[in-house]
Amino acid sequence: MQLSILFPAVVNGILNGALYALIAFGLTLVYGVLHIINFAHGTLLTAALFAAFFLYRSLGLDPYVALLLLTPAFFLIGYALQRFVIGPVSRGSDSNILLVTLGLAVIIENGLLFAFRGDTRTVDLPYSFAVVPFAGLFISVPRLVGFAGAVVVALLLWLLLTLTDTGKAIRAVAKEKLGAQLSGIDVAHIYALTFGLGTACVAVAACLLIPTYYVNPHVGNAFVLIAFTTVVLGGMGSILGALIGGLFVGLVESVCGLYLGESLGQIGIFTMFILVLLLRPSGLLGARA
Amino acid sequence: MTRRAFLPVLVVVGALACVPLVVHSDVVLNFLVTALLLTLAGQGWNLLGGYGGQYSFGHAAFFGTGAYATAILQTRYGLNAWPAFTFGIAAGAGVGAAIGALTFPSGLRGSYFALVTLAFAEVLRILASVAPVTGAGVGILVKLDPGIHALQFSSRAASYWFILSLVAAALVVNRLIEGSRFGAWLVAVREGEAAAQALGVDPTRVKLTAMTASAALTAAAGCFYVQYFLFIDAPIAYGPWISVEALLASIIGGVGTVFGPLLGALMVKTLGEAAKLVTGDAPGLDLMLYGIVLIVVVWIAPRGVAGIGERCRAWFARGSLGAGDTAA
Amino acid sequence: MTSPILAVENLSKRFGGLYAVREASLTVEAGSITAVIGPNGAGKTTLFALIAGFEKPDHGRILYENADITGESAHRLARRGIARTFQIVQPFAGLSVLENIAVGAHLHVAQRAAALEAAAEVAKRLGLEKVLNQPAATLTLAGRKRLELARALATSPKLLLLDEVLAGLNPSEIRDMLPVIRSIRERGVTILMIEHVMQAVMSLAEQVDVLVEGRVVARGTPAEVAVNPQVIEAYLGHGAAARLAGGAHA
């Protein structure tokens, strides 16, 4: 394989991978703290994409500006979902949580389908196709911004978790829920907070994605398994792991796409996902699952 | 097993068999056929999920395999519909056994198991949407050839009786399992895998057997789909709709019960029709309602309609015993 | 002298950097009641898990009826005749008492009706006949302990491992349980029990092994072990043996 073909694919893969990582942050955070696999994660991304799209359509709001609006909005949505729907309805039962998040996924995706039909929409921004020269290639500016955004978010999350009191409370609940409760931490609140953080990440990802991507109700599906693969690869609950995992997944998809054609590039990811799940020693799988 | 155990099944099947004798509307019969199709798919899911406690989010993998196998064998290889149908079931069961053999020995359960099954179904869907043998994006059309030799029925009533016979067979199999050692082992694995192991139960083998049988039933539903609608493509065969509906039917109707999938399928399909009445054929509304119903059921009645029935019975029983005697 | 039904030789098991069981050796005579005691964290439950096939040892051997069963899986061992109860009882909550026991009976009986019959019989022996059709989740703790026992007995074991079967019971419940355990032995089942309730150990066990920090440090009859200085120190701290006059009495 010629370097001139491989190199752009690699760069492309890394840029995509950063966005996969951003999407995966929320998932891995929720798993690490609540120990649940949020099946609604992909559809929340779709919802955020639609939100960004309509903000642009109706208010002319640039996605990078909409980001400032949508991030807190989706944080609240995520908080409310966990605090008032998922938590109370599932009453802590693992199989119930599974079903509730699946139910939410189905509701959101099909709600969007019903409200906005299945047509694919795109956003055309003046800088959608802007490129910047780098090492003999032309890198898409929005993609580069996406990459930067992912790294910034990762950093912010890390800072939040290690330096702030809230972050410490989150980590306490993740490690030892009962002990945290006994120390006076409001676990339901922390759970909802974490979920909200995860959803906020997804909103950021949506705003960074939208200049170069398309919007339709099924987009979330495409990202769900990619996000899961990222999280499983990088280790459930690890932000850094999700970052590295995302980059790796992006790479694999890009390179596989070269050999197998674009639609089958996804197969490379899923196969990897299945293999990782099967081959990981049972000790790392996590007790709750 | 006593003959009495099969009495409810006989009564229900008998009653259902009489329906085309009184109902002549094609619309209603079509509705019932699709409801029974979903029942069969749900009976498959219920065996693994309800009785075995392993929730699969990818039963489409078996539905689609059964459907495609039946379609391909007839259209590409000219095989007669009957053996094609049988091979379809076997193919679906094979896929089930393969996935089970890969996942159970690794100890995957709970959310991870659901995820893996989802992944497998997605992989199959992508493959089917590009592979020439499955007709890629276009799908496969089975030639119209009404007659029992081609397993196609010109009258809705005949189709109805055919799917009913499959559902009846599944009900019988279900009852047999309930009263067998395998059934006892299966629910033991669901209730407590470690405790079951201590009693000599091999969880991997039990789960694998359940998965294979479960896949066979759902695959049969897929085979019937092809014979009834004469068309199959990737989103229909391997799309999330059937995974969700089969799961939903079992949960609404009552996981781990014989008649749960039947009750649930009727309710799910009724809900879908009601949704269509209100808003026309707008895509998405029916599934969205299903999602809402799923959450409501988990919230209020996690054991489904059959569970509500059980709770009522228990409530009455306790009432008649007076102060309950629970100490041993 | 007949060979012991169970022989554990230099068994070791590590979890990360910590040895839960370290070169533990013991033997159990067929038809006896043997107790394993020791302070909390001594490794007793891990030892049971190793013997019953729920964990694989890092070093050492386990011989059962002279056959090497090291590393065999739990369900296989159940078929060989090794049954166990769990420290935290694990009834099949969604099933009735009878159905719970029947799962055990099914190990040797394929027919449902026969298994239910055998289960009812075992239930009667353990005083559970009044609650046969109740959901297992509604039993009191004492009831659940009996259920746990009944389920294990239904597998017709030759060796029964009881993991703190008396934990959490009040004195009268304990008093009621002792003859049940004895009657199990009368029927020819060898019993190996982990116990903290010293009254039970003293009155039931013929042989006591003391596990401290993963090792067996003492072995003998209950009376011998009770006055063993190492044992006293393990429970009561350094120097305690010297401070105590006469035999330790629980």
- Of residues B28, B47, B12, the one with CA closest to residue B190: B47
pLDDT of residue B323: 42
Q: What is the DSSP letter of C43?
A: S
Question: What pLDDT is stored for residue B208 in this prediction?
Answer: 96
Q: Which of B201, B203, B327 sits opposite C143 (nearest CB)?
A: B327
CB contacts < 8 A, A to B, total: 133
Contacts of A152 (CB under 8 A, 6+ apart): none
Residue A131 maps to a domain:
no
What distance in Å separates the CA atoms of residue A42 and residue A219, rounded to the nearest whole number? 8
Q: Which residue of A has its CA nearest to B276?
A: A114
Q: Check if B110 contacts A (Cβ < 8 Å).
A: yes
Q: In chain C, what residues touch B195 (CB-CB under 8 Å)?
A: 86, 90-92, 151
> What is the number of other CB atoms lying within 10 angstroms of the CB of residue C173?
16
CATH number of the structural domain spanning residue A151: 1.10.3470
Distance CA B77, CA A112 (A): 42
Q: Are B117 and B99 in contact, with CB atoms under 8 Å apart?
A: yes
For B107-153, what is each residue's pLDDT tens digit? 888 888 888 898 899 889 988 988 888 888 888 888 888 888 888 88
Domain that holds residue A170: 2-122+138-279
The pLDDT value given to residue A268: 76
Q: Are the Cβ atoms of B284 and A112 closer than 8 angstroms?
A: yes
- What does the pLDDT read at residue A258? 78
Assess contact for A125 and A62: CB atoms under 8 A. Answer: yes
* Tokens describing residue A272: 């990897």
What is the structure's pLDDT at B326? 41
Q: What is the pLDDT along chain C (250 residues), one digit of tens a residue?
A: 467 899 999 999 998 888 889 999 999 999 999 999 988 877 899 999 999 999 999 999 999 998 999 989 999 999 999 999 998 999 999 899 999 999 999 999 999 999 999 999 999 999 899 999 999 999 999 999 999 999 999 999 999 999 999 988 889 999 988 999 999 999 999 999 998 888 888 889 999 999 888 888 889 998 888 888 888 888 777 777 777 755 544 4
What is residue B25's DSSP assignment?
-
Closest-CA distance of chain B to residue C18, Å? 24
Are A and B neighbours with ≥3 CB pairs closer than 8 A?
yes
Nearest to C116 by CA among C137, C142, C93, C95: C95
Q: Does A76 touch chain B (CB under 8 A)?
A: no
Distance from the B242 Cα atom to the nearest Cα atom in chain A, whole angstroms = 12
- How far apart are the C-alpha atoms of A14 and A243, rounded to whole Å? 11
- Look at B184 and C94 and tell me if their CB atoms are within 8 Å: no
HSE-CB at B198 with a 13 A cutoff on CA atoms is 33
Q: Which chains touch B (3 or more CB pairs under 8 A)?
A: A, C
Angle between helices B181-191 and B156-178 (to 10 degrees): 80
pTM for the full predicted model: 0.88
User: Which residues, 6+ apart, have CB-to-CB distance to A33 below 8 Å?
Assistant: A170, A173, A174, A190, A191, A194, A237
Q: Most B CBs within 10 Å: which of A96, A117, A277, as the mutation test of the B interface?
A: A277
Per-residue confidence (pLDDT) for residue B263, from 0 to 100: 93
How far is C-alpha B199 from the chain's CA centre? Answer: 30
Whole-angstrom Cα distance, residue C124 to residue C17? 47
- Pair B204, B105: CB distance under 8 Å: yes
The whole-chain average pLDDT of chain A stands at 84
Residue A288 lies in a domain: no
Write phi, then psi, for C162 (nearest 5 degrees): -105, 115
- The 3-class secondary structure across A165-223, one letter per residue, is HHHHHHHHHHHCHHHHHHCCCCHHHHHHHHHHHHHHHHHHHHHHHCCCCEECCCHHHHH
DSSP lists the bridge partners of residue C192 as C34, C161
Q: Find the Cα–Cα–Cα–Cα dihedral B194, B200, B206, B208, rounded to 10°.
A: 80
Q: Does residue A167 sit at the B interface (CB-CB below 8 Å)?
A: no
CA distances from residue B149 to B31, B80, B81, B82, B85 in whole angstroms, order as listed: 25, 8, 7, 8, 12
Contact (CB<8Å) B198/C79: no
The total domain count for chain A is 1
The predicted-structure confidence for B30-65, as pLDDT tens digits, reads as follows 999 999 999 999 999 999 999 999 999 999 999 999
CB contact under 8 A, C107 and B192: no
C11 burial (CB, 10 Å; 0-12 / 13-18 / 19+) is buried
Least CB–CB distance from C86: residue in B181, B195, B328: B195
A160: tokens are: 């939040």
CA distance, residue A109 to nearest chain B CA (Å): 8
The token pair that represents C65 in the structure block: 């009826």
Give a yes or no: residue A45 inside a domain: yes
d(CA C92, CA C180) in angstroms, rounded, equals 22
Instruction: List CB contacts of B21: < 8 A, sequence separation 6 or more.
Output: none
* Cα–Cα distance measured from residue A109 to residue A98, given in angstroms and rounded to the nearest whole number: 17
Any idea which of A163-177, B14-28, B299-313, C169-183 has the lowest mean pLDDT? B299-313
Q: Are B184 and C106 in contact (CB < 8 Å)?
A: yes
Does residue A271 fall inside a structural domain? Answer: yes
Chain C residues touching B185 at Cβ < 8 A: 103, 106
Q: Is pLDDT above 90 for A104?
A: yes
Report the C-alpha gap between B275 and C92 in whole angstroms. Answer: 40
Q: Which of these, A247, A284, A238, lies nearest to A25 by C-alpha position? A: A238
CA-based angle A98:A99:A105, to the nearest 5? 95
pLDDT level of residue A263 (50, 70, 90 thresholds) = low
CA A8 to chain centre: 24
- Domain ranges in chain B? 3-243
Please check whether residue A5 touches B, CB under 8 A: no
CA distances from A273 to A28, A245, A279, A280, B115 (A): 15, 11, 10, 11, 10
Please, what is the end-to-end C-alpha distance for chain B in angstroms? 30
Q: Give domain status of residue A289, yes or no.
A: no
Q: Is residue A117 less than 8 Å (CB to CB) from chain B?
A: yes
* pLDDT for C12: 92
- Determine whether the interchain pair C73/B191 forms a contact, defined as Cβ–Cβ distance below 8 Å: no
In angstroms, rounded to a whole number, what is the distance separating the alpha carbons of residues A43 and A28? 16
The A residues from 32 to 71 touching B (CB cutoff 8 Å) are 36-37, 39
Whether chains A and C touch (3+ CB pairs under 8 A) is answered by no
Give me the residues paired with residue C24 across strands: C11
Nearest one of C209, C127, C199, C196 to C168, comparing CA atoms: C196
pLDDT tens profile A65-74: 889 999 999 9
Average pLDDT over residues B243-256: 91
Taking alpha carbons only, the member of A135, A164, A156, A142 closest to residue A243 is A156
Which band of pLDDT confidence, cut at 50, 70 and 90, is reported for residue B169? very high
One-letter amino acid for residue A42 of the chain: G
Check CB contact under 8 Å for C155 and B192: no
Which bin fits C173, alpha (ψ -120 to 50), beta or left (φ > 0)? alpha
Contact of B98 with chain A, judged by CB distance below 8 Å, is answered with no
- C191 and C184 Cβ atoms separated by less than 8 Å: yes
Q: Residue A62's pLDDT is what?
A: 85
